[in-house]
Each structure stands twice: as structure tokens, then as C-alpha cells.
Structure 1
Amino acid sequence: MTQEELYSILSIEESYRIERTISTGNMDKFQEAICAFANDLPGSRKKGYLLIGVLDDGKISGMTVDDTLMKKISGIRSDGNILPLPMMTTEKVSTPEGDVLVVEVTPSFDTPVRYRGRTFIRIGPRRDIATPQEERILSERCAASLPTFDTHPCRGAKLDDLDIDAIIKDYLPRAVDASVLANDHRPLEEQLASLHLWNLQWNCPTNAALIMFGKNPKYFMPGAYIQYVRFKGETNAGAILNERRFEGSLYHILPLLDNFIRDGIVTRRPISVSVLREKDIVNYPFKALHELCMNACMHRDYQSNMPTRLYQYDRHIEIMNPGGLYGQARPENFPLVNDYRNSVIAEMMRSFNYVNMFNHGVTEVQDALRENENPPARFNVDLVTAFSVIIEDDAKSYEESIVDISLVATAHQLATNISSHVKDLIISINTSEHTKESLQLATKLATKSRQYFDKVSLKPAIQSGLIQMKYADAPNHPDQKYSLTDLGKAVQIILKGK
């Protein structure tokens, strides 16, 4: 390493890649730092540097590095305290300000790396012991470079556990060129092995074969099913209005799931947009729900006992699958970077046109929601053992659905004729009840006079039938509150749509 390269590293602030110290005897500190660099929790694949002889502000301290210190630090690699052995180099760089001992650590592929049985990681400039969830991230990242779970043999299964007719008649013609398939006279097991559906060593199906074409995959993988629940309200505490399980192979349940989404979840209703015109309002675009459910089945962790969840509430849907972001996909690069926990299942689903594997799924979901005037999907990528996404019902369609269509003509007329002060008031109020003070604060009318607010906003709105009082017979009731009438809701929809 040259002096110029050292100065370049010194210019980097202490972070998950850089640790500075002037200590020469704290071997625990050195080994913990090397262990943390080898684990590379952020997954950047960038080398880490332990700089001995450098102050916290990045200035060289002026120490002298002798052969004894060099040998002591170099011996860290093979003393057996850090396992698996780290890939590191030790080098002395002499500068006019003094010597610096540079320990360069290459991120390990075989993680987690432990020092005396403990897994150290760096979180920004801080070093800490990894939590079980963080260790799982390191383990999954290691597994990402190895054969995926769906390629492993399911040693308790046999050929009779597979739907052979579906494989031969429907999948093989999709996966293999017709001319190649016509000239392939090998035994079926060898044909399946070429597609990672059979393990010749153990003479049994792979997990992918059972998940996609198994007669009863849940017997081998208890969480391999989809659970749909319709809750009343907005939380799991609400009453269960409907519940359904989709059990069996993906080959059989994915078409059923699509039909259920189309007929049981997506709803259309005509809404009047003018006196002479109506339009259909959809609560959720089918394309978005289809894409999210297919991705959940493709990316989920089939080793987990948790099912893929499709939970519907009054105003939103949550889709959750076991298994967080996998491999190279991380919170900071999602959704730009994708990786496949189940590469064989992903390829089979692509053959059946359920997914495209172009990493366009999230973009297509957001586009479909935007076109339908839904809020964008909200992805929770911070969960370690699960991945969830929430999509919300079309708010406009919900509001319009509670308005009596017979009020539309009157509402259009009022929306044109009422004053700007009344318009601001109607737009500011929601369907809940409000006090006079909260209404005044919510409007754009900048005045401290309640009398003026009453005169130009509140009373005209009440007289026009747009706002109602909770205690209509006692206008000065101490607990008086105000809310929109049905006509007020219709006018609000029209005003918000302009």
C-alpha cells in the first residue's frame, strides 16, 4: 500500500469499513474488529480496514511499528480464535508523520464469522454483537451462494407423491423445446433431474417438485399453503367475516387464487360522475393483487411453518410471506436489486406466466395502483423473518360509495354556488365529528374571531344542508359537534375532484 492509498483511506470517516486506534496491546479489540469486517453485515463486499496508529480524527499518531507488533497482529488470522479463518493482510506503511499498521480484511462468503463463539458486526462506526435475526441474515447470505432450499432432495418423498400427469402434459412442453423433448428417451427421473425436480443421488423428488407439483406438499412442509382471512375493521382484533385456505401444489392453487382475487376480493361498482355519466370504480386493481400474491409464493421461505398470509380489512389488504429480503436484496437497494430464495420455483412460475423475472414487479404494482387512484403500496423490508406489503382501498371510491346518487345533481349545483369560505370548510372536514374550534383551525380562514367564522363559514354551511349539528335542538350545547351530511359528503367529493 502506498502513502497515497493510505491517505485516501484516512480521508474516509470511521464507518462500518474503517476503525482507527492508537492502542497496540488490546488484542480483543483487534480481533473483534476483524471479525466484524469479515461478516460485512451491510453486504457491500467492500474491504474493511483496521488502522493501528491513527487517531480518531484521522491524523497519524506518530507511533513506530516494529516486527513484534507486526507478528502479533498477523498471527490473529491463524490463532483459531476467529472461525472460519478470516481473509486478511497486514502491512506497515511509513509516512513522514509516523508508521501505520494497516489490517485489510476481505468480507467472508462463509458467514457468520465468530470470535470466540460470538458474532461481531459493525453498525455504522459502532461494533456490536449480532442479534439472532442479524445472524440469520448472515446465514442466508452464505446460503445464497449455495444450492437453494428448493433444489434440496426431499428424502421422505417418492415419485408417487408427484402429479406426474401435470408434469408430463403441461410443464415439460413449456420447459423443454418440442424437438428436444421428442428425442429424449431417458427415464422420467433423469428428465426431471435435468430440471432440478429429482435428485438422482437419493432417488427422490426435490423440494421444488413437491411445492409445485406435489399431491400433498403440506405433509412435507407444514407452512406450504395460503391463508386468506377477511377481518371486520382495520385490525386483527376485528371479527372474522370469512376464512379460506388454499392447500395443495402451486400448480393447482395458483389458478384458484387468481379466480378468488378476481371474484372474491376485487369489486366493481358504478359511480355517478355527472348527471348523465357513470364510471366503474374498482377497490383494488387485479393486476396489483395478482403480482403481489405471486411474488409472495415465489419468494417465501418454505422451511417456515408460517403460511403465506392474505389478510383483508375494511380499507386495506396486507400480504405477508415468511422470509425477509434474501441474498443480495437489502433494504437500501430494494426494489432495484432482486435475488431468488427459490430459483427453481421462480423458473417454473415463469414458465406458467405467473411471473416474468424481469424485476419489474414492484414497478408494475405501483403503476396499476396509481392508474386506479389507490395510494402506493407500502413495503416493509425491515422485517428479518418476514416480508409484508400493504395496499389501501381506493379512498375516492369508498367515499363515493356512501353517497346517495340521487344527491349528485344538487351537490353539483351547490359546489358551484357556495362561497369560497364554505368550500374550504367542507373540504377540511372528514366523516368524524368535530368541535367548532377544530373546524375553524382546519380551514384556510385566517381569523381569531369565532363570530366571523360562524357568519361566513359555519352558519351558511348548516343552512345549505351541508353540515349538521350533533345537538340540533340545542345549538349552544357544551358538547356540540359538527359533521358532514350526506349532501355535504357529495359536495366534498366533487370539490376534491376539481
Structure 2
Amino acid sequence: MTDSVDLDALARRENEQTEWKENVADVEKVVATLAAFANDLQNLGGGYVVCGVAEDKDEHGFPVLRRTGLTAARLKEVEGRVLSLCRAKVSPPITPLVEELPTNNPQRRILVFVQPATGSAHTFRRDDDGTRHYVRISRSTIEARNGVLKDLLVRKGALEPWDRRPCNGATEADLDLIALRDALQRMGVFSTDLGVEPYLSPDVSISAFVPPLLVAEPLSGVLRPRNFAVLLFGRETQRFIPGAVTFFSIYPGVDRSDPHAERHELAGNLLEQARRLQELFDVQSYTAFDKTDPAVPNAIKYPTRALYEAMGNALAHRDYEVADPTRLTVFADRVAVASPGPLPSGVDIEVLRAGTAPPRWRNQALAWFFARMQLAQAEGQGVPTILRLMREQGNPPPVFEADQVRVVCTLPAHPRHAALRDLRSAEQALVLGDLDRARARVEGVLGNDPLNFRAIQLFAEVHLARRDSAAVAAWVRTHAGQFDALPSQVLLLLGEAVGTEQARGEDRPLAIDLLVRAARGRLEERQLRRIVVAMRRAHDDEGAYALIDRQMLEHPEWANNPLLLQLRGDALIGLAKRCREMAKKPGIAQLTRERAWRDFHSYMEQAERDLRAALALSVDQHLTDQINVNIAFLAKLRRANQPPQRRAARGRRG
């Protein structure tokens, strides 16, 4: 027996914890509900099944109870049948507590089953429906399926959380050790004496809060990286986890109806995706300036940290068993961050919107790494942080929506974003070839906000189209002290605009400095190619060669990239031509001349190796034709530029 149950108090509670049965027509439904209360998916502590009471409403619409009760014979029959089924057909068996309560009729009593939550995931075998897991969702008892069943099994410890499970098919060789080393350094746990080797053991973890990166298979002993390790440090993450991709789309209007849009499809590991997303968000998080508002002249369109938090939450807490991508969509007036999968069990959408939801993680190990690497707030503070930052910056509050398919966080733009219209107008003018109007619109925005990243990009694009590198160089010199705040793609565009073929000689060092800044950190292969081409155009073959060489060391898989091999070969030809110019320069010392000829032939040999390797790897006919032209030019250059000693020796042999 329990302490006396207060039915009126139960009636005032949310009905997630109470099931009312008047006549108990189906005893098996009672047992299924008791099993659901024992499973306690929503962490409410269990629940009550009250037999002999009907829930009704009074004339005002408020709930009232009709205490009809059960006869003595029916009460004993129901009690015996329920307890028997709880022992025989619930696995593991449950033993609910039982209490009898009086009614106004001394011949009838109310039967109450009290089922506390347990630490197990219980199944119930119904006569007509087989064995099932049951859970309580709102006021209903339902069968746990798909994601709900997985949440239940994980909660009860019957199934390891997805991010901690071994990644089938992956091995230690599928981890990018450079990415792992960089992460360890950022977290302050890397030792130059030990390297990364200790963390590749199945017995060593980075923290007591997360398991080791690798786990040994029970029979074979083969080391498999866990899913969170492949997400964070995988060489080919999407090969094993297809859904681990992100689409970043930009629409110039307020919906997807615009005929022109920009989309970035981001692959690689999550750390690479997060870095790239931060750069893309930096372009969107600009400051609008209003001279007419002396109190608050500057208004940022979106708080950068709020964007980072929304992105970090989406990547860390989404359901990676769903193959859908994470989608971040930028409109003229808002940013929408859509994360595949429903809210974690036990998280109520209204509580989430209020910012008072308790910490709940779908991928706890992944969330721990994101917090340690400052990609997301820890202890469930991400949503409160977004709410606070948006409020402090004067933005409208964020909007949270959730269903069984996805969770969406929408961040409205600051009301003061009229500059967007000017930039859209500049983009349209650029497309239509009206370069004067495009320049006027862009320069108007930059006059108010010199660090508007999108305006700087358009400024560079407009002047590239105008073939006016000198104007870009002058603007860069004026604002050079602010360039540490610019993301790499903006610096790259400025470098390309300054270092054109028509650039003045005094502007080329400026272009090279911009490109060197753009090349800091880890680069995507396409970015690397653009920077190298721009460096060569600015006559910095030495810097281009050194950059490719360094990036190939950091990315060994790029050593077989025909495009990069061709670019390195071209840079080496450029270095060889410089050596030839030095060797033929009048008035230099003989030793210097001989050294220049030796370097000339050394660079030529290296260039030929790279070009022939690129030719063997090329599957694109246009690239193959271009490489053949370069090889032919190389042979011609070699024949025409033999050092004097070699030509004299060849003449004597003749």
C-alpha cells in the first residue's frame, strides 16, 4: 500500500502521469500503460492508472471526476489480472503498487495502480500484437518506434548513444591526425613529446566526460573510431556518415522565389565545416551605420556569437542517422538554421523558447568537444545566450520551431538593414554591366561601414570588372589597419583585384600581402588554387610554390591532384625563368651566374616531374591539352637556354 492517493490532486496535474479508466474494458491497455510509466521516457518519475473513475467536465468546461468505482468482485478480478500480466508478460517484470480508495457508494471502490519509473526498458507482450516497448507521450500510451525507441533504449542504457558507437567500416587510418592534433592544441591538452599517439589507444580518453576516440572490436580486436571521432576528425567523413553535410544558402529576398541565389555545399569533418560556416556568417554579420541616430549609430545586423551558437547547436545536437543535410539559409531579413531530427526526448518546445530548458544532449560526446573548442556553449546555455545577445543588440527575438522532422532556429535581422537594398542593387547592376551604378551603390555602403564584408567583396568584384586595380589598391592602403577582421575569402578577392595583369609594380607587394593573409589557416583545395593563381599573376612564383608545397604536406591526399601539380609546375617554370634572367644579366659575378644556371635546370627538372605526373593523373581533356602545351614550352625553354659551358662542350663533341 502507498500513502493515500489524492485523486483531486491528480486531476489538477498534467495527464502525462495519470490514466483514468472507468470500466476497465481492456486490462491489457492498463498493463501497457503501466509499462510505459515504468519506461518513463519523459523523466516524470512514473505515473498512476486509476480504475473506476471517469474524467469529465463541468458546465464551465473545467475537469471534474466521476467516481463510479468498481464492485468488490470486479476490483479483485482487475487487480489480479493486471498483476499477473505485469509478472508474466512484461519484461523485465514490474510490480506496481496498489491502493483502494472509497467512493460515496460503500459497495464500490476505486482501484489505483502506482508505477514508479525504473532503470530498465520494459516490453509488454500483448496477445494480439506481439512484444512491444510502450511509452507515454502527452496523454497517450503509444508504441515506441524508430527515434523514440532509440531514445528510450539509450536513456535506459540498453543502447549506447549513437555518437559513442563504433563507426562501422572505419579504421584508425580514416582519422585525420593533423585535425586531431590541431584540436588537442586548441583544447590545451597536446604534448609535443607524446604527440597524438596516446589518444589512439582504446584505453585513453581526452576527458573523463567522453569515451576514447577508438574502441576495439570484441572478437577481432580491430580498432574502430567512434562516430563522434569520425565526425570531428574523419578524413572522409561523408563516406561513413552521409548526412554529415551542410548546405549554406543565400537568397537576396525574403523567400526562395528569387531566380538567383548562392549555395555552398560543405563537406569534410565538422570542425572544417564549423570554421567555414563561421567565415560565411562573418560576411552576414555586418554593422549598419545611421548618422541620424546619435544614441545608437551602429547596429549590427546579427550578433555574431548568436549565429555561431545557432550553428554550433545545429551541428552538435542534430540526428546524424538521418541522411538530410544541416541547412543554414540566409534571407534579406533573417537567418534560418534547420537541424534534422526532432527535439531530444523530454525537451518541451515552449520551455525551449523561454530559454529555461534543462541541459539535454542527443550527442553528448560531440557536444562536449564543441563546448571545449568554443563552438557552442556548455550546460545548455546556447539558447539563453542567443536570446540574450539578440535582445542586447536590439534584434527581434529568435523563433524556435520543432516537429518530428527537424528543429529550426530563425534569427531575425536588426531592423536597420537598409544597406542590404543598396548591396542588392549593386549586385543587380554588376550582373547587368552597369558598373558605374554598381560602384556608386557599393561605395555608398562602404562610406558608412568600411568593414561591411559583402560590400568589400562587391567593391573588389566591381573594380575587377572595371580593370581598375589602382582604385582597389588605394582603398586597401587607406583601411589596411582593419584587415585583421576580414575573413579569408574577402582578403582573397581584394588580392585578386589588386594583383591583376594591369597592376602597377608598386601595387604588387600589396596584392601579395593580401593573398598571404588569405592563405592563413587550413584551406579548401579550390581556395588554394585561386590564391596560387593570384600570386603568380602578382609575379610571386616563389610564394605560390612555397604555399602549394606547404599545403601538400598538410594534405597528403593533394599530392595526386593534377590541378595542383600543374600549378606547382607552372610556378617552378616561373622560378626557372627568373634564374635565367639572373644568369643572363650583364655584370654579375661568375659564381652567381653559375649558381643561377644550376637553379634554372633544377627548377626545370622539378617542373617537368610535376607536369608529367599531372598529365598521368589528368582525366580532363582541356587540362591534358594545357599540360601538354606547358611541357612543350618547357622543352623549348630548356633548348633555348643552355648555359654557355654546355653549348661549348656540345660544339667540341660535334
TM-score by length of 2: 0.53
Q: What is the CA-CA distance between 1:119 and the residue it aligns to?
A: 6.4
CA contact (8 A) 1:121 1:128 kept: yes
1:339 maps to amino acid: R
Partner residue in 2 for 1:51: 50
**Secondary structure in 2 matching 1:16:** helix
With over 3 angstroms needed to count, the CA separation of the structure-2 counterparts of 1:365 and 1:26, relative to structure 1, is closer
2:113 maps to amino acid: V
Q: Which runs of 5+ in 2 are unaligned?
A: 56-64, 207-211, 423-654
Partner residue in 1 for 2:625: none
CA contact (8 A) 2:135 2:144 kept: no
* Aligned counterparts of 2:300 and 2:188: Cα–Cα separation in 1: 36
Partner residue in 1 for 2:381: 360
Partner residue in 2 for 1:194: 205
Q: What is the CA-CA distance between 1:52 and the residue it aligns to?
A: 2.6
Q: What is the CA-CA distance between 1:307 and the residue it aligns to?
A: 1.1
2:418 maps to amino acid: Y
Is 2:330 the partner of 1:322? no
CA contact (8 A) 2:87 2:94 kept: no
Q: What is the CA-CA distance between 1:199 and the residue it aligns to?
A: 0.9
Partner residue in 2 for 1:341: 362
CA contact (8 A) 1:162 1:210 kept: yes
CA contact (8 A) 2:175 2:234 kept: yes
**Secondary structure in 2 matching 1:70:** helix
Higher RCO (C-alpha under 8 Å, 6+ residues apart):
1
Query: Where is the strand percentage greater, Structure 1 or Structure 2?
Result: 1
Q: What is the CA-CA distance between 1:289 and the residue it aligns to?
A: 0.7
Partner residue in 2 for 1:100: 110
**Secondary structure in 1 matching 2:112:** strand
CA contact (8 A) 2:21 2:54 kept: yes
1:215 maps to amino acid: R
What is the number of equivalent residue pairs in this alignment?
Answer: 392
**Secondary structure in 2 matching 1:311:** strand
CA contact (8 A) 2:250 2:330 kept: yes
Candidates 242, 247, 271, aligned match of 1:251: 271
Q: Give CA-to-partner distance per residue, 1:9-60, whole Å, 9 cap, x none.
A: 666568232233343663244334434534546x143322222344542536
With over 3 angstroms needed to count, the CA separation of the structure-2 counterparts of 1:70 and 1:363, relative to structure 1, is closer
Partner residue in 2 for 1:394: 414
Partner residue in 2 for 1:212: 232
Partner residue in 2 for 1:271: 290
CA contact (8 A) 1:232 1:239 kept: no
CA contact (8 A) 1:229 1:240 kept: no
* 1:411-490 paired onto structure 2 within 5 Å: none
Q: Give CA-to-partner distance per residue, 1:445-471, whole Å, 9 cap, x none.
A: xxxxxxxxxxxxxxxxxxxxxxxxxxx
* Cα RMSD (Å): 3.6
Partner residue in 2 for 1:467: none
Q: What is the CA-CA distance between 1:229 and the residue it aligns to?
A: 0.9
Candidates 129, 132, 154, aligned match of 1:143: 154
CA contact (8 A) 2:202 2:215 kept: no
Partner residue in 1 for 2:559: none
CA contact (8 A) 1:137 1:384 kept: no
With over 3 angstroms needed to count, the CA separation of the structure-2 counterparts of 1:218 and 1:46, relative to structure 1, is same
In terms of mean alpha carbon deviation, does 329-338 or 237-246 score higher? Answer: 329-338
With over 3 angstroms needed to count, the CA separation of the structure-2 counterparts of 1:50 and 1:400, relative to structure 1, is closer
* 1:23-422 paired onto structure 2 within 5 Å: 23=23, 26-38=26-38, 40=40, 43-54=42-53, 56=55, 57-59=65-67, 61=69, 63-64=71-72, 67-80=76-89, 84-85=91-92, 87-93=94-100, 95=102, 97=106, 98-107=108-117, 113=123, 115=126, 116-117=129-130, 127=140, 129=142, 136-146=147-157, 147-168=160-181, 170-171=183-184, 174=187, 176=189, 189-190=200-201, 193-195=204-206, 196-201=212-217, 202-263=222-283, 265-273=284-292, 279-334=297-352, 335=355, 336-380=357-401, 382-398=402-418
Q: What is the CA-CA distance between 1:165 and the residue it aligns to?
A: 2.6
Identity of matched residues, %: 21
With over 3 angstroms needed to count, the CA separation of the structure-2 counterparts of 1:235 and 1:19, relative to structure 1, is same
Q: What is the CA-CA distance between 1:70 and the residue it aligns to?
A: 3.4
CA contact (8 A) 2:340 2:407 kept: yes
* Aligned counterparts of 1:13 and 1:374: Cα–Cα separation in 2: 37
In terms of mean alpha carbon deviation, does 3-12 or 159-168 score higher? Answer: 3-12
Q: What is the CA-CA distance between 1:247 and the residue it aligns to?
A: 1.3
CA contact (8 A) 1:86 1:108 kept: no
Q: Which runs of 5+ in 1 are unaligned?
A: 403-498
**Secondary structure in 2 matching 1:48:** strand
CA contact (8 A) 2:246 2:326 kept: yes
With over 3 angstroms needed to count, the CA separation of the structure-2 counterparts of 1:107 and 1:257, relative to structure 1, is same
TM-score by length of 1: 0.68
Partner residue in 2 for 1:426: none
Q: Give CA-to-partner distance per residue, 1:106-125, whole Å, 9 cap, x none.
A: 34655585543466665655
CA contact (8 A) 1:268 1:283 kept: yes
2:100 maps to amino acid: V
In terms of mean alpha carbon deviation, does 100-109 or 211-220 score higher? Answer: 100-109
**Secondary structure in 1 matching 2:44:** coil
1:63 maps to amino acid: T
**Secondary structure in 2 matching 1:395:** coil
Q: What is the CA-CA distance between 1:216 and the residue it aligns to?
A: 1.3
* Aligned counterparts of 2:296 and 2:162: Cα–Cα separation in 1: 51
1:100 maps to amino acid: I
* Aligned counterparts of 2:265 and 2:325: Cα–Cα separation in 1: 10
* Aligned counterparts of 2:265 and 2:420: Cα–Cα separation in 1: 32
* Aligned counterparts of 2:196 and 2:327: Cα–Cα separation in 1: 42
**Secondary structure in 2 matching 1:248:** coil
With over 3 angstroms needed to count, the CA separation of the structure-2 counterparts of 1:62 and 1:297, relative to structure 1, is closer
**Secondary structure in 1 matching 2:71:** coil
**Secondary structure in 2 matching 1:4:** coil
With over 3 angstroms needed to count, the CA separation of the structure-2 counterparts of 1:315 and 1:326, relative to structure 1, is same
**Secondary structure in 2 matching 1:387:** strand
**Secondary structure in 2 matching 1:390:** strand
Partner residue in 2 for 1:448: none
2:231 maps to amino acid: I
CA contact (8 A) 1:320 1:388 kept: yes
